[in-house]
Amino acid sequence: MRAVALGAFLALAAGLAPASEAQQSLTLDGVFGNDDVLVFRGTGEPGIAVSVGIYSPAGDHIKLFSAIPGPDGAFETLGQLTVSDVFGARGTYEARLGLTPDEAPSLRIEYDGQRAYVVPDYVVDLVPMGGNMSVEAGEALSFTAKITDGSLRGVVYGLEGNVPAGASIGASDGRFAWIPVPLQGSAQGSAYTFDVVATKEVLEDRQSVTVVVFAAAPEPGPEPSPAAAPDPAPSDVAPPAFVEPGVDPQQYVDRYESEPAFRQWFDENFPGVTIHAAVGLPEPVPRPAFVEPGVDPQQYVDRYESEPAFRQWFDENFPGVTIHAAVGLPEPVPRPAFVEPGVDPQQYVDRYESEPAFRQWFDENFPGVTIHAAVGLPEPVPRPAFVEPGVDPQQYVDRYESEPAFRQWFDENFPGVTIHAAVGLPEPVPRPAFVDPERDPRYYVARYDAEPAFRQWFDENFPGVTIYEAAGTNESAMNRTAFGQCGIGTRLVGGECVAPDPPPIEAGPEPPEPEPKPAAPEPPPPPRDPRPGGCLIATAAHGSEMSQQVQMLREVRDRTLLSTASGAGFADGFNALYYSFSPAVADAQRESPLLREAIRALIAPMLLYLSVMTLAEEGSEAHVVAAGSAAIALTLGTYVAAPVLAAAGAARLVRSRRRRPEAGSGARRPPGRKPPSPTLFNSGGVG
């Protein structure tokens, strides 16, 4: 039986043929790391199998991918081959659609040892910015970085290296701006060398820039008039020689507090002088004894504001000192008089953003203060340019969690910012310990919906947390999953796929025309899951993707079959055949309840036999082959051998009945043979 299955698979592989030239196309979207599954997409003739061949830089054929286009002609290759499985050495490879090179769509793929991507048809080249620049402290320095190809869009500019504090460059327009402070300059000139980097997808170019900052020249003043010499007075403490101009004085304070050797050296050479006075910083307010090391200082501020007894005790024991200064926190910005106690501060922020008259009034009366600081709210994280208005922010979070290329691009361009903060979503709730990260989140959602005891236990132990947050998904994503299970234009309701009622149409104001915005870096488009979805026939037969039978099939596929190379190869060949007819069978089941019941009974023995594979050790070739062979043998015995044997037995029975003489036919006995004497068993009675 295994030979029959293997022969069918080889016949299917041998039948792979290129699609018609009029409908052929081939793409490879995004950047794939060594551990990413390589997936090609394109178009071909619907239902006709296609192949994608990979050729080495020397022109040798090394790998083959297969796919079957859907009804619209679109396809994506099957299999679980990663980048490291396909490419062995650095170089430029070729991916070609079909087995014949003549006029077949092809791609040039670059592999640098870590990533694989399509060789771009453009270059990123910065226009020379001229070497060194100089500026005086307090003056503004600005220039604009540009690339030679002015028509290229999506270029991201940035700064790397010894970037001076306060310097910035526009990510989309390349405008550099910096106003050095006096401490950043010196009479001899303080040099800052850094790189201006232009990036688009996988290409980048950089230029080194050196900026020399000179101390501002003193303004001339009137000639002093002769006067009597004043009485000698104590002069200010002069900065010691070790304090270098242009260096942040706080660095010396940090060294004094963290390096015992530096502290000892300073105390021995500058007795009676504090480190703050030596470097020209104000003396810090000593923390009172009640402030314990390691305790968040904000706790004391919260107590002061919420506990009258603690406030009275503090004011009596530390007159003239604020609670913020005592615990080492910066003084808060006082709230303006227009901010009424008890009113949600967000209301003022909303007014500032939606009412131009209120914004103008606020900016004129409170220059240098933001609306968030005025009402006591934290400053919002500015949304990056790639976040488009009107797009669900969760889409960016889903891409970050599922696409390594997008995650790497985001982390490199927005260090220190989480994806949730960047798109304006609250940080996710950490998963409880009972949630297995490798289990489908829909398992927990289904238990919550179907088991009252589990729902009660969850609600009591995790108040304020939804089952979607705990399982690591969101309700909209779950709804999309149920929608996709039934196909376009329908959704799953009570185990049946029905068309949703159209929402009522309400009249409303016309939306304003969107304002033009500068070009923003476009992250790579999202890749789809290279593995086909669930078992369509079993899902339609049992009415839900969360049924026990479908869950078992998914476990067999993901945890057992795909854990070995032989199992993955068998799955690729089986999927190519199975998904060519299963959608039509599943649609027919949804239209006919009688057919659905018949198929459910028909596939019950097969599901029982496939459950044998759950006993195989995950990742063991021997276990998976043995269990798979047993399941195939049982399945073929039930659906092929048993019907054949039953048909053969029925045929023999019919032939024997035809040869037997019927009663009253007048047939004669052979001569010389007497008729049998009647007995108890053939006489029809006793006596």
652-676 pLDDT per residue, tens = 888 887 776 654 555 555 555 555 5
Nearest to 546 by CA among 466, 619, 636, 451: 451
Question: Over 80: is that where the pLDDT of 216 sits?
Answer: no
Q: Which residue has the tokens 């293997």?
A: 6
pTM across the whole model: 0.30
Q: Which residue, among 51, 41, 49, 110, has the nearest Cα to 74 in the 3D structure?
A: 41
Calculate helix-pair angle for 441-450, 452-461, nearest 10 degrees.
110
List, by residue range, all CATH 2.60.40.1930 domains of the chain: 16-118
Over the stretch 140-167, which tens digit does the pLDDT of each residue have? 888 888 888 878 888 899 999 888 888 8
Please give the Cα distance from 45 to 49 (Å, whole number): 8
Q: How far apart are CA 624 and CA 630, in angstroms?
A: 10
Nearest to 111 by CA among 189, 21, 201, 202: 202
Percent pLDDT > 90 in the chain is 2
432-454: pLDDT as tens digits: 888 887 777 777 887 887 788 88
Better-scored residue on pLDDT, 409 or 533: 409
- Stretch (H or E) spanning 76: strand 74-76
Confidence at residue 197, expressed as pLDDT on a 0 to 100 scale: 92
pLDDT on residue 684: 44
Q: Average of pLDDT values for 565-584?
A: 78
CA gap 400, 409 in Å, rounded: 9
Of all residues in the chain, the percent with pLDDT exceeding 70 is 77
Confidence of residue 299 (pLDDT cuts 50, 70, 90): confident
- Work out the average pLDDT over 411-428: 83
- pLDDT score recorded for residue 482: 36
Give me the pLDDT at residue 143, please: 84
CB within 8 Å of 188: residues ≥ 6 apart: none
pLDDT at 327: 84
Region 122-134 average pLDDT: 79
User: Residue 533: what are its φ and ψ, rounded to 5°?
Assistant: -75, -155
Average pLDDT over residues 504-522: 42
SS3 call for 91: strand
| 4-13, 275-284, 293-302: least confident range | 4-13
Q: Comparing C-alpha atoms, which of 199, 652, 610 is closest to residue 414?
A: 199
Fold classification of 16-118 is Immunoglobulin-like (2.60.40)
What three-state secondary structure class fits 616?
Answer: coil
pLDDT at residue 107 greater than cutoff 80: yes
Beta bridge partners of 142: 177
CATH architecture of 132-214: Sandwich (2.60)
Q: Where in the chain is the domain with CATH 2.60.40.60?
A: 132-214
Helix 593-610 and helix 582-591, axial crossing angle in degrees, nearest 10: 130
d(CA 371, CA 240): 43
pLDDT tens digits for 219-235? 554 544 544 444 443 33
Q: Which residues pair with 193 in a beta bridge?
A: 210
